[in-house]
Structure 1
């Protein structure tokens, strides 16, 4: 969600669309449950096949998709219309399809004008992925007829959350899974936290949605997955101004920090964006920055010669979380703020990979390698 690219002019997509649609020849297999002798099932099968051959990892007005799903912010930030696409395909759809073959498990009618296409992406016998996993994802896309009677694919989020409780609390709209409860005290703390961050860094507060979910499987379902290989505690979709949590919590400081700071045309490196959110809001729900710092110090002391570069490049990391990198970035942000205040934070936030080291040197007034050593010394002294 954090890597965004400048949108190409819309006419370029229109010109390229025929090439995108016919450049590949993917024909998904079908299970015995998919009866293509039925007119509607056959039409939906062809629709989905066309979609797979239309560069689903790309951002443009895909002709096989419900136009109501396509928000301007998606085009502006080069985000695919399919909520599962970025997580599943990344930016290299052809590479993904080299390892995984689509098998349509079901094409079913859910009501008078709502259908589902359930597909398993399983590694083929000729190739093996790096994890050795044979099943990668099971996706579930919805299909409805448009105003002209043509079938169009759509995301599941609107239908799945249609009857969920919605509470408007000041500038946050909470959308609450039936198995979760709204906590007004937590909501008030969330509002207070956002207002404090806004005041501290001169930020403008804009309304946003906050989805409260009980677990990662329910998050997967509104991302169009019936099965996925991700474990996500929380996520912020800044272009669409959405926060998702899988802890049933009404207040998630780490994700609120991501939401409060504005979307950048060239987003800052992960060490800065996640470091900033960790310094101000902890690395994840229920863990404070101070707690994480102590654990990170303890972990790094088990390595003979830990380096800043090894942490940033994930050569040194925890097995099940990114806390080492997050806390290291948090210390960088904290030290920069103590050195030159909020102006230093904005300098870091407006940096890209090319100028980050130079900007850090300007803030601290010393060579980058010395700054890296200072950061590790700060962590290890805990």
Structure 2
């Protein structure tokens, strides 16, 4: 059974409200300026809307379908959850522009029944063997970027950036969690908006809302980082292990990404920074009860307390049970109820409460000058 944390329930509730308003009808239309009297334009428009109705691979470029598990990179859950096409939005083709021999850019808008626009997207359409195929915009956008390949990480970046590889961290990560490394394709963009532009979003509901972010697309092992995050965005690389521990509780996986990520644990800041902020918040908010750590999912826009709580739970488990103990928890205690029961019975002493233990650990790390994880990263 799938596990859902309180934080995830909160996000799902928001999504359901939107879906109620968008799922009642889907319309696929074409703007007046798109000349469908031209045979090629008419064919391209038809293929795009057929694809949206079916999400079929038959309309996509075969090389990309073969190379990518998620062949439409733009439609990734890390960017919008659920992914854009799962929202069952209306679509209107805005333009179809020829950019070179046998290659077009198709621009379209996704909107709900109240005409609220979620995204304006670009997709490439290529004519191959006299047949039109859809293709990811990311490859057109980055075609002149530099490429640097290491043993298990392929960096794609602009020439203005200097790459210092995260290969050593990635190797250590795989060794600690008993998994074989796979190739990660790692894109480095200017900022968050540039990541969205790279994916083909002219407009997106998250555009303009932040300058620092990162994403891991698990189906294709793609990392998207900003220049500030750089080539060593350990937080996103850590998400590589998630698919190998499908039963692991979301709070622990969230915490782990911050626990071992050094100076870029969360929103580009060290974990110690966020522990201090959570500590100060708890001092003035005595009513917050960490005995159910899943309920403390919002503090402010600068710190998500789930990263701190999850990281400290990993630290407590490793302290009591070692690395192998943490892996056993990942494998066997997936639901919130199972994890909470394990913590109360196997980790805490008879006279301890999780609220007191977590508050004390937050206080301890707040007073120390530097946070050091127990996994050696």
Structure 2 length normalisation: TM-score?
A: 0.77
Q: Cα deviation per residue 1:242-290 (whole Å; 9 max; x = unaligned)?
A: 211023512112122223x262372533211110111111533642222
| Aligned twin of 2:75 | 84
- Asked if structure 2 preserves the Cα contact closer than 8 Å seen for 1:269 and 1:352, the reply is yes
Match of 1:243 among 220, 223, 230: 223
Structure 1's 200 and 62: CA in aligned 2 closer, same or farther, altered over 3 A?
A: closer
Gapped regions of structure 2 (runs ≥ 5):
4-23, 367-377
2:189 matches 1:210: no
SS at match of 1:301: helix
User: Which among 211, 214, 217 is matched to residue 234 of structure 1?
Assistant: 214
Match of 1:375 in 2: 358
C-alpha change, 1:285 and 1:91, in structure 2 (3 Å) is closer
Map 1:122-141 to 2 at 5 A: 122-125=111-114, 134-141=116-123
8 Å Cα contact 1:215-1:246 kept in structure 2: yes
Q: Which of 334, 343, 352 in structure 1 is aligned with 2:334? A: 352
Change (3 A) 1:264 1:204: closer
Distance in structure 2 (CA, Å) of the matches to 1:309 and 1:247: 39
Q: Secondary structure at the match of 1:103?
A: strand
Does structure 1 residue 154 correspond to structure 2 residue 122?
Answer: no
Instruction: Name the residue aligned to 1:13.
Output: none
Shift, 1:314, TM fit: 5.9
Q: 1:309 to 1:364 in 2, by over 3 A?
A: closer
Match of 1:67 in 2: 62
Match for residue 268 of structure 1 among 248, 262, 279: 248
In 2 relative to 1, CA 326–146 (structure 1 residues): closer, same or farther, beyond 3 Å?
A: same
Asked whether the 8 Å contact 2:120–2:201 carries over to 1, the reply is yes
Distance (Å, rounded) in 2 between the aligned partners of 1:326 and 1:85: 22
The 1:80–1:177 alpha-carbon spacing in structure 2 relative to 1, beyond 3 Å, is same
Query: Where does residue 343 of structure 1 map in the other structure?
Result: 324
User: Which whole-Å deviations, capped at 9, do the CAs of 1:121-155 have from their partners, x for residues lacking one?
Assistant: 23433x8xxxxxx33211111111233x2212121
Which one of the candidate residues 94, 105, 113 is aligned to 1:116?
Answer: 105
Q: Deviations over 1:38-64 (max 9, x none)?
A: 11111111111112211x4xxxx5322
2:9 aligned partner = none
Name the structure, 1 or 2, with higher relative contact order (CA <8 Å, separation 6+): 2
Matches of 2:233 and 2:85, distance apart in 1: 33
In the alignment, the residues of structure 2 paired with residue 146 and residue 265 of structure 1 have an alpha-carbon distance, to the nearest angstrom, of 40
Q: Is the 8 A contact 1:114 1:142 kept in 2?
A: yes
Q: Which runs of 5+ in 1 are unaligned?
A: 4-23, 128-133
Structure 1: distance between partners of 2:268 and 2:297: 26
Q: For 1:300-379, what aligned pairs fall within 5 Å after superposition?
A: 300-308=282-290, 312-313=294-295, 316-322=298-304, 324-350=305-331, 351-353=333-335, 355-361=338-344, 363-364=346-347, 370-379=353-362
CA-CA distance at 1:174 after TM superposition: 1.1
Name the counterpart of 2:14. none
Counterparts of 1:275-290 in structure 2, within 5 Å, are 275-282=255-262, 283-284=265-266, 286-290=268-272
Q: CA RMSD in A?
A: 3.3
Change (3 A) 1:25 1:112: farther
Determine if contact 2:92/2:110 at 8 Å carries over to the other structure.
Answer: yes
Cα distance in 1, alignment partners of residues 76 and 235 from structure 2: 25
Q: Cα offset for 1:307? A: 2.8
Tell me the matched-pair count. Answer: 335
Distance 1:37 1:288 in 2: 57
Per-residue Cα deviation, 1:76-129 (whole angstroms, up to 9, x for no partner): xxx5735235445716957x34xx53222111111112111111223433x8xx
Q: Distance in 1 between matches of 2:275 and 2:71?
A: 36
Corresponding residue of 1:257? 238
